Structures are given as C-alpha cells and as structure tokens.
Amino acid sequence: MWQYPSEMEAMEDALRLARGMTYKYAAAGVNLGGGKTVIVGDPYRKDREPVFRVLGKFINRLGGKYITGEDVGTTLKDMEYIRMETPYVVTLPTYLGGAGDIAPMTAFGTIQAMRACAKEIFGTDSMEGRSVSVQGLGAVGYNVVKQLSELKARMIVTDINAERVKRVVEEFNVRAVPPEDIYSMGVEIYSPCALGATINDDSLKKLKCKIICGCANNQLKEERHGEQVQKMGILYAPDYVTNAGGTIFDTDRLGVGGVNHERGKEKVARIYQTMEQTIQISKQEKIPTYLAADRLAEERIRKVAEVKKYGGELDPMF
C-alpha cells in the first residue's frame, strides 16, 4: 500500500513485484508461483477495514489461484481484515493459525545472504566489526539493525521517518545520517531496506561499499545497473534471494501441518547456500549476480514445468 504518483506507476510496480515473487520462490525452492497486489493509497490511513475487506472479496473470487500476505505499508491487522472475506491469506497472527510477525525472519534471511557475501569478499562470514549502512528502518529494517547489533556489526542508519530513526539510535547506539547522505558513507556493506530502485545512476556515483545486500524489493532501477555494479567491483546480493526469508517462513505451514518455528527458520537459513550458489554461477559464467540468480530460478522453473507435464500439482512446501 503506497501513495503512487500515478496508476501507471502502481501497475509497473505490481508487475515488477510479481516477477520478483516468481523468481524468489523458484530460487528458494518453494513450490509456489508469483503474484503481487498493490493498493494505491496512504499507508498511514486510519480507516483501513473497508479497503482490505474489499480486497479480500476480490481475492476470494480467484478461488485460490492467488494467496496474499503482508508487505510494505500493510500490517498483520490488515491481513485479519482480508481473512474476514477469504481464506487465501498467509500472513496472520498466531491466534488465527499464522506464523505471526515475519519481519524478523525476513531480516534473518537477509543477514544469511550478507554473511555469504562477506565470506566471498573478506574470507570470513563473521559480521563482527563489519561496517554496514542500513537504509530504511521499517519492520524489516529495524530487525536487520537489531540482529546485526547482536552480531556486533558497526552501523550507520537512515529513514525518512524521524521517529523510527530516533528509536533505533536510542535502542542500538548507532549513528544516523540524513537520507540523502546514506549512499556516500564509507562502509563495507550498503543495505537497502526501504523502497526499490535505490541502485541507480545517481546512487552508483556515490557508493563506496564492497557489498550491496538488503531486504528491499526491486533494488536495481534497471538491469543495466546490475551490470554497472559488477564492473565497479561491488558484490550485489540479488534482492529476491536476500528477502525471501519472511515468505519462506510464512508459507512453511502450507501443506505440512501448521507452523513450526524451528523447521521454518532452518529453511530460511538455506538462503546462505542459495547466495553461495548465485555467486558461484556468476563466477563460472562471468555474468552479474542478478543474472546468475535469474539463471538459478529459471532452471528450477524449467525442471518443475517438466514434472508438471506428467499431471498433478506439487505440494506447496514438501
């Protein structure tokens, strides 16, 4: 849910996000397809029930072809409103049979990818003493800072919301900078955790990092920026690999008897290996990592398509 400048920009974002979800599930080895809904509206709107119940009615008409969940600008309470109209929603509080808040697991997955990148660049996956700039302190960004703090990383943070910045600075004793300054910080790792398209012509002129690894969707404004990052000697962790943790954890209960925290977290931890595979493909084929991740996802899509030729559907999370 976001205040898009135009309907066309909302449509473009929905299409980009849907593609990202398709590749995210494929790369993560999850037997789900990919789709996305966006709502053109104020994410801070108070009167939310009518909006989300109408959306729930629409989703219900699709008969299970599309299952929705929480994302930027929405909350668990919003998902409850959707659940009043349709069973096809996964991000739910525990008292409704869901996994509860998935932001910590999204952050956990992002940090697994970050550790794999650190091992490639620095020879160790320890985050202790690593300098990281975190852009965006929403539900997931906050948890990225919290978990990196526990791992003893050194951080610089920013957000357009002053209250979020104040909370994180006071709680974790990190340094804050204005949003426009975050790109030029001399850090080892830049972690974009806000909206997409932050890796663009302007930001690439300022970045001084060795690794880009964050939880935001659609971080590359255009695919050519992935090529440019590679030429600059920066290791880019493809966003749909890094931010898959929440949805892996969230959908783990489908078809396997409900929520199991340990099983779900173990699956999220595999993002480390997925990132290692992506790096390996990139090195072997001499292609940018964003393209290597696409190859990984597309190969699985191709293989599963072959399986489906023999009839039947795959269990969502066997």
Structure confidence by residue, pLDDT tens digits, 40-92: 999 999 999 999 999 999 999 999 999 999 888 899 999 999 999 999 999 89
> Residue 312's pLDDT band (boundaries 50, 70, 90)?
low
Residue 226 · residue 9 · CB < 8 Å = no
* Helix, strand, or coil (residue 20): helix
Structure confidence by residue, pLDDT tens digits, 15-41: 988 998 999 999 988 888 889 999 999
CA–CA dist 151, 133 (Å, integer): 15
Spatial CB neighbours of 6, under 8 Å, sequence gap ≥ 6: none
Taking the complete model, does pTM exceed 0.85, yes or no? yes
The domains of the chain, with CATH numbers, are 7-96 (3.40.50.10860), 103-244+275-294 (3.40.50.720)
Which amino acids are annotated catalytic?
Answer: 36
Give the mean pLDDT of 288-299.
96
Structure confidence by residue, pLDDT tens digits, 93-140: 989 988 888 999 999 999 999 999 999 999 999 999 999 999 999 999
Structure confidence by residue, pLDDT tens digits, 196-237: 889 999 999 999 999 999 999 889 999 999 999 999 999 999
What mean pLDDT, rounded, does the chain reach?
Answer: 93
Q: Is the model's pLDDT at 314 over the cut of 60?
A: no
Residue 195 · residue 221 · CB < 8 Å = no
The b/e string for 227-248 (b: 16+ C-beta within 10 A; e otherwise) is ebbbeeebbbbbbbbbbbbbbb
How confident is the model at residue 311, as a pLDDT? Answer: 67
> Residue 318's pLDDT band (boundaries 50, 70, 90)?
very low
Residue 113 · residue 242 · CB < 8 Å = yes
Structure confidence by residue, pLDDT tens digits, 177-193: 999 999 999 999 999 99
Q: How large is the angle between the packed helices 289-308 and 7-28, nearest 10 degrees?
A: 70
